[in-house]
Amino acid sequence: MHRDEARKRMRDFKTLAPVADFAEVWFEHSEQITFHDPLAAVCCFDPDVCQWRDVFVKVPMGEGTAGWTLPKWNGADDGTKPHKIATDVDSAKFFDLYFANMK
């Protein structure tokens, strides 16, 4: 979300005052803000906000890529089960749900 829109929408909610303060620090370096954690939370209650795909995931521990989450689109060779990953977001639905629950 562009910072101007975020500022406009967040100022209407007292509960978002701390988030708005944190966001101002971010806006010193970026015109956009991404709602990663709120999206994850909304998906717990309404998974239809995203489109999902079963994908095997690897988390390497080597130098340079340690901790990265890497999809293995062609399957896994170690017997693990696939994870569900979001491949698309209905951003209008997400923001409607997110801001509706801030009242």
Amino acid 70: pLDDT: 87
Tens of pLDDT, residue by residue over 6-36, are 999 998 888 888 989 999 999 999 999 999 9
* Residue 92: pLDDT band with limits 50, 70, 90: very high
3-state DSSP helix/strand/coil % of the chain, to nearest 5 = 45, 20, 35
Provide the whole-model pTM. 0.75
Amino acid 59: pLDDT: 87
Mean pLDDT of 52-68: 90
Give CA–CA dist 84/44, Å, rounded: 13
Give CA–CA dist 1/9, Å, rounded: 10
